[in-house]
A and B are shown apart, each in its own frame.
Chain A
Amino acid sequence: MSEPTGVPRWVGTALPLKEDVRLVAGRGRFIDDLGQPGQLHAAFLRSPHAHARIVSIDARVAAVHAGVFAVLTGAEAARLSGPIRPLIPTTAVVSDYCLAVDRVRYAGEPVAAVAAVDRATAEDALELIRVEYDPLPAVVDPEEALQPGAPLLYPELGTNVVWHDTLTYGDVDGAMARAHGVLRERFTIQRYASTPLETFGAIAAYDPGLDAFEFWTNDQRPGLTISILAASLGVPQSRIRLSCPDIGGGFGNKRRPAYLLICALLARAAGRPVKWIEDRIENLTALMHACNGVMDVELAYQADGTLLALSVRDVADEGKNLVTPSQHNLIKLGNIANGYRIPAIRYEAWSVLTTKCPSGANRGIGKPFMCFAIERAMTLLARRLGLDPAELRLRNYVTADQMPYTTPPGAQYDSGDYPATLRRALECFDYAGWRAEQARARREGRLVGIGIATSIEPAGTNLASYELLTGRRTVSGSAETAMVRMEPDGHVRVSVGDPSSGQGYETVIAQIVADELGLTPGNVAVARGFDSATTPWLYLSGNYSNKFSVTDVGAIVGAARKVADKLRRLAAHRLEIDPGDLELRDGAVVVRGAADRRVAFAELARTAYADVLGLPPGEEPGLESRHAHQNPLAAPVDAQRRVRSQLVFSNAAHCCLVEVHPRTGVVTLLKYLVAHDCGRELNPLIVEGMVHGSTVHGIGAALLEEFRYDQQGQLLTSTFLDYLKPTATDVPAIEVERLEHPSPFTPLGAKGVGEGGAIPGPAAVANAVEDALTPFGVTIRSLPITPERVWRWMRPGAA
């Protein structure tokens, strides 16, 4: 691709967002705002048991209920559609359909569906379906699930273990033997999820004349979903059209091809479009949770705190997930060193099925737990060595002069100054001042604590890392594609295969293209959402993995530069001058140093589309370009099983101040500061907002959120009354400090920012609460830190 044409004017500015203007007036178009003529509404009947054999389903009464147009059971779904192909390859091959066929494996799994004139009628009809279940023992704890004799979700697999492997990089045992000491700790993490405020939903329509399906959905990964739908429905991908409107938050949660398939089968049976909108209880019970799990950490160190080796045994509880199994494990492996120089690393992965809600992608996938374990271990090690927790970290960071630095498992830290980020955080937080204040507060009997946690934050996933699971490569790399079109009137339209779910793409993409073409963002219209018939897309397309900076930007810049080059060629022909003497500025191609010699874009566009005899010889009519960008860092797994599973790395340091109420155990966050470095900030207003929001996700996981199950596999927290999210009164005003070390490996130097504070947030809060509870000698090994648990810690005899 050619070079940019001038000094950037728009990238890097805190431009207010174009999309905010409609969203603030309630003029967004979300999935539940859409409708199709003749549309029916679907409701799903869900299993009340965590684990049971389905003996029989009788839907005859429901099928003839007034207003009902179609009823679908698992047996019919298995007759009318194929099994759902897993996204992540696995050796545990099963045939799961869009509805449970002969066995349910979590409470909330859909077993039947109804399409009726409205949702209420559909729900009435569900009550008329008779299902006979033969309950089986639930298996709720992942460590029990991997024991011999545990109840099996899939008896045909002979085990609940989806993946077990030990990956060793360097002489871990030797380092452990030579070490001054080894810190051994066991940490656990609960199930939680980002729970976007808009739930999941879809509309499906079937056109019998074309034998084609059309979908509207807030699915975050449309490229992948289309391939799964086509395979299950038995139609070519060319006869599936899928569109995304505005998406009301995603955070990884919004994907479930099974639900789209149910709507499609109902729509074909009913002969009318079918809409289904997930309700909140369905969302919390059955969409997806981040894996809960257990991690045993061994950290070998020298007397001065220098790290020598790390060994981790990690058990990830997948629930009933054979669509994206082992994803959390792989991402933990890629981020295991967390910015530290650790010469030898061992990772023992267990990915285990239980009779709970399927696990899936959730802001940071695995990294929040990885970071929690490492940052808790570092804090405990500092305590053991009598070092300040900041000092221990500073002694162990990969430093700026060591970049790019490759960790033993193959992750490459591309840029940044990790010590500088922590020092900035300490300084702006007034760490020394608060330590003195804390000492004073303690003398008064107040329980005040300070927590530090730091993290790396990768962007982009190289899917070649899946080869670690099966030894075979099926998908690989990290890429996205975009289209830039100058319309016949000189205005510009852009679309990209990544539908925004709140990241401000309509604004930041307009900023990027405006700079490339010498326009203002107001001249650049970025398509809302996604439409497979008009948006360029790849299987890899979608809104995931923090990938905007590493793939999308390259695609957008590449497409814009192709249009810019063509504009220059057209103007050069017109002005009889070398294209190299031309630049794009203020909506025109201008001769460098002779601003009066110019051709307006509208004039060139008119030539390109309408007066095509005026084109240079051999030049194609039109002013539209597509470009796909494959991030060059992605590479296959090497012979030592090292891989860059993620591509460029941001980093952050969190400092927080908490006070624990001695009588109630309530934790109050008094102050929270984030210093972060995501490279070049394309729009600082968007970046800062994401830092705020992601940090509060981390706080929620630390203090409030937990999907709690009983021993029978029943979810006890299935509404926002008992699954608690942070409210405005639970969190302080997050303070943000920025450093800006651009990545040399992305087209504009930007790095990831979407996952941000969700990664170190839980560790930072836990470190602070433990610090506050120093008088009680508490060690925090699990989350969330609820008042009840704190109260018990402060009263060891109270049980």
Chain B
Amino acid sequence: MIAPAERLSIRLTVNGRVIEREIAARRSLADFLREDLGLTGTHVGCEHGVCGACTVLVDGESARSCLLFAVQLDGATVTTIEGLTPPEGLSPLQQAFCAAHAMQCGFCTPGMIVATTELLRTNPSPSPGQIREALGGNLCMCTGYVNIVRAVARAAAALRGGAGESS
């Protein structure tokens, strides 16, 4: 049995960088990313796995970073909003969120981008209903979701258009 405050060593990849750290067993992945790595783009909205603000990709699949202990991620690959943002400018999905004004306070937005990145990887042509299903685990208190759905549809079209040109 590991005591909550006992420190353990982990090695994982975050946004393409290999990280080795010794951390308390009770440290959540969200706190590890925010406090230890300074990746404050991942937000914490409920700490009980409902709101989705803290969503990150773990080995390519979306996960609630508030419900994972960082020590569970030994050997894993984690991608946060910082990892989904190009070094210069914004991704097509992010550009679509800006064009459609798919945010107001912006607190849920990183989680929304992560969740919809996963959606568009698995379904390049989602219907509005499929987009809403994919957003079902992410709360937004400001927008009523209308512009977020529009933004994702717009990004999907842009990405399909881009793929069509290159193929």
**A20 and B103: CB pair below 8 A?**
yes
CB-CB contacts below 8 Å: B81-135 with A: 81-82, 85, 90, 94, 97-99, 101, 103-110, 113, 128, 131-133, 135
Identify which of A23, A696, A720 contacts B51 (C-beta below 8 A). A720
Known: A25-B90, A26-B40, A734-B144. A198 touches B45 (CB 8 A): yes
A708 at the interface (CB under 8 A from B): no
Interface-side segment among A288-296, A497-505, A515-523, A791-799: A497-505
- A26 with B110: CB separation less than 8 A: yes
- Residue of A20, A248, A734 near B107 (CB, 8 A) is A248
The answer on a CB contact under 8 Å between B132 and A729 is yes
Q: Which residues of B contact A30 (CB under 8 A)?
A: 40, 43, 107
CA of A638 to CA of B22 in the docked complex: distance in angstroms?
Answer: 69
Q: What B residues does A694 contact at CB under 8 A?
A: 144
Count chain A residues whose beta carbon lies closer than 8 angstroms to a beta carbon of B.
56
User: What B residues does A379 contact at CB under 8 A?
Assistant: none
Chain B positions within 8 Å of A247 at CB level: 105
User: Is A671 interfacial (CB-CB < 8 Å)?
Assistant: no
Q: With an 8 A cutoff between CB atoms, is A721 at the interface?
A: yes
The 8 Å CB contact of A198, one of B50, B107, B135, B147, is: B107
Complex Cα gap A251–B43 (Å): 19
Kindly specify which of A189-197, A326-334, A454-462 makes contact with the partner chain.
A189-197
Judge if A280 is at the interface, Cβ distance under 8 Å: yes
- B37 smallest CB distance to A (angstroms): 13
Check if A17 sits within 8 Å of B41, measured CB to CB.
Answer: no
Residues of A within 8 A of B101 (CB): 16-17, 20, 504, 685-686, 688-689
A727 touches B139 (CB 8 A): yes
A490–chain B nearest beta-carbon distance, Å: 27
A86 at the interface (CB under 8 A from B): no
Cβ 8 A contact of B45, one of A197, A281, A502: A197
A719 at interface by CB-CB < 8 Å? yes
Q: Are B48 and A23 in contact (CB under 8 A)?
A: no
Known: A32-B44, A692-B143, A721-B48. A24 touches B103 (CB 8 A): yes
B residues less than 8 Å from A141 (CB atoms): none
Do B141 and A194 touch (CB < 8 A)?
A: yes
Q: Known contacts A24-B97, A24-B103, A26-B85: does B46 contact A280 (CB below 8 Å)?
A: yes
Select which of A22, A29, A195, A248 is within 8 A of B105 by beta carbon. Answer: A248
Is A693 an interface residue when CB atoms closer than 8 A count as contact? yes
Determine if B136 is an interface residue (Cβ-Cβ < 8 Å). Answer: yes
Residues of chain A contacted by B108 (CB below 8 angstroms): 197
Check A693 against B143 for contact (C-beta < 8 Å).
yes
User: Does B7 sit within 8 A of A, measured CB to CB?
Assistant: no
**How many positions in chain B have a CB within 8 Å of any CB in the partner chain?**
55
Q: Which residues of B contact A642 (CB under 8 A)?
A: none
Q: Is B71 an interface residue (CB 8 A)?
A: no
- Contact residues of B between 1 and 57, Cβ < 8 Å to A: 4-5, 24, 26, 34, 40-48, 50-51, 53
Instruction: Given A280-B45, A720-B48, A725-B141, verify A16-B105 contact (CB < 8 Å).
Output: no
Taking CB as reference atom, which chain B residue is nearest A690?
B104
Contacts of A689 in B (CB 8 A): 101, 104, 142-143, 146-147
Q: In the complex, what residue of chain A is closest to B83 when comparing beta carbons? A: A26
- Give Cα distance in the complex from A69 to B46, angstroms: 27
Q: How would residues 659 to 690 of chain A score, 1 for a CB under 8 Å from any chain B CB and 0 otherwise?
A: 00000000000000000000000000110111
Where the two chains meet, the residues of A that have a C-beta atom closer than 8 Å to any C-beta of B are 16-17, 19-30, 32-33, 120, 194-199, 246-249, 251, 279-281, 501-504, 685-686, 688-690, 692-696, 719-721, 725-729, 731, 733-734
Q: List 21 A-B contacts (CB under 8 A).
A: A20-B106, A24-B94, A24-B98, A25-B81, A26-B110, A28-B106, A30-B43, A32-B34, A194-B141, A197-B43, A197-B142, A692-B145, A693-B140, A720-B46, A720-B139, A721-B50, A725-B139, A727-B137, A728-B132, A728-B149, A729-B135
Besides A501-B105, A502-B105, A688-B147, 10 other CB < 8 A contacts?
A24-B103, A32-B44, A197-B141, A247-B105, A693-B140, A720-B51, A720-B139, A728-B148, A729-B133, A733-B146
